[in-house]
Amino acid sequence: MNIHIIGAPIDMGAGRRGVDMGPSAIRYAGLGERLSQLGFTIIDEGNIIVAQPETTPIDHPHLKYLEPILEAATTLAAVVERTSGPNDLPLILGGDHSIALGSITGAAKAYGSVGVIWIDAHPDFNTDQTTPSGNIHGMPLAALAGFGDTRLVNLGGFSPKVSPANIAIVGARDIDPGERDLLHQANVHVFTMKDIDRLGLSGTITQALEIATTGTKGVHVSFDMDSLDPREAPGVGTPVRGGITYREAHLTMELIADSGKMTSLDIVEVNPILDQENRTANLAVELILSALGKRIF
């Protein structure tokens, strides 16, 4: 299996600077070498070219940095589509969660139909009409499902990229009011931390996999490091108390690996500026290894 490492160093979708350094921090934590030790062929595609906010106007207060984010997403989609296949898996390193606009568009182009497991403290299902901040990293999943500004929704020339019936959000615990209404309207499956407490992590991921694999040709996993409790992952831009634990995060990835259904993977929102001795990036590498089949025994 060829693992294609793709850096997406963008932080214009977020409200805090720093996650643009996430790809470098994750690579520095030994990603390529440790994946090679599992027997994979590693092809580092480098980083996509991203405009910098210092030289880019915000323009739209409810869709901040829209044009450069669309440009980056279009570039990323092409790379993900090119590096997807039976023996090729794209591994996308964020960057803020707006990168999923590109990665999931590329996966949908490559496979025709994909399900999504979105592991995040936030559903990222806002639109320009519901957003309290205007930050696009809170909107990608809605746009991918066909909701929101037409420029986001129609990225890549088609919509939706994923059916709401094939989306499973796992670990949610911070949902905006308008976002909650839209999730109900779209009938998206949301597993909050309450559901994880009630069902257990294993039961939750089993259901999430069933949702994401029914009638699809693969599963894109989008893992936001703020899904973990801040005690486990301090280096994230939008930490929320009460998240999943170290072992629960590994179990999540191990169960996804056991399914054999994952066709592409995002790891996003690592912010080295806020981290402690690259602790969050090191954890990101460990979770990637678990998602790609590393076993305890």
Q: Domain boundaries in the chain? A: 2-291
Contact 175, 183 (CB under 8 A): yes
Residues of 115-126 as b/e, b for ≥16 C-beta within 10 angstroms? Answer: bbbbbbbbbbbb
pLDDT score of 145 more than 90? yes
The span from the CA of 98 to the CA of 142, in Å, is: 11
CATH number corresponding to 2-291 = 3.40.800.10
- 167 backbone dihedrals φ, ψ, rounded to 5°: -105, 130
Mean pLDDT of 92-104: 97
**Would strands 63-64 and 59-60 be described as parallel, antiparallel, or unpaired?**
antiparallel
Confidence of residue 57 (pLDDT cuts 50, 70, 90): confident
What per-residue confidence (pLDDT) applies to 15? Answer: 79
pLDDT score of 125 more than 90? yes
In this prediction, what percent of the chain has a pLDDT beyond 70? Answer: 100
Mean pLDDT of 169-197: 97
Determine the 3-state secondary structure of 83 from DSSP: coil
pLDDT score of 102 more than 90? yes
What per-residue confidence (pLDDT) applies to 283? Answer: 98
Confidence of residue 296 (pLDDT cuts 50, 70, 90): confident
Cis peptide preceding 293, ω within 30 of 0: no
What per-residue confidence (pLDDT) applies to 137? Answer: 97
Give me the active site residues, please: 97, 120, 122, 124, 137, 224, 226, 269
Confidence of residue 280 (pLDDT cuts 50, 70, 90): very high
Between vectors from CA 98 to CA 280 and to CA 125, what angle results, nearest 5°? Answer: 105
Mean pLDDT of 10-31: 94
What per-residue confidence (pLDDT) applies to 52? Answer: 83
Q: Is the dihedral of CA 180, 186, 98, 150 positive or negative?
A: negative
Residues of 145-158 as b/e, b for ≥16 C-beta within 10 angstroms? Answer: bebbbeebbebbee
Question: Over the chain, what is the mean pLDDT?
Answer: 96
What is the longest distance spanned by two Cα atoms in the chain?
53
What per-residue confidence (pLDDT) applies to 168? Answer: 98
The span from the CA of 72 to the CA of 51, in Å, is: 8
Amino acid letter, 87: N
Torsion of CA 252, 253, 259, 263, to 10 degrees: 130
The span from the CA of 270 to the CA of 26, in Å, is: 8
One-letter-per-residue 3-state SS of 28-76 = HCCHHHHHHHCCCEEEEEEECCCCCHHHCCCEECCEECHHHHHHHHHHH
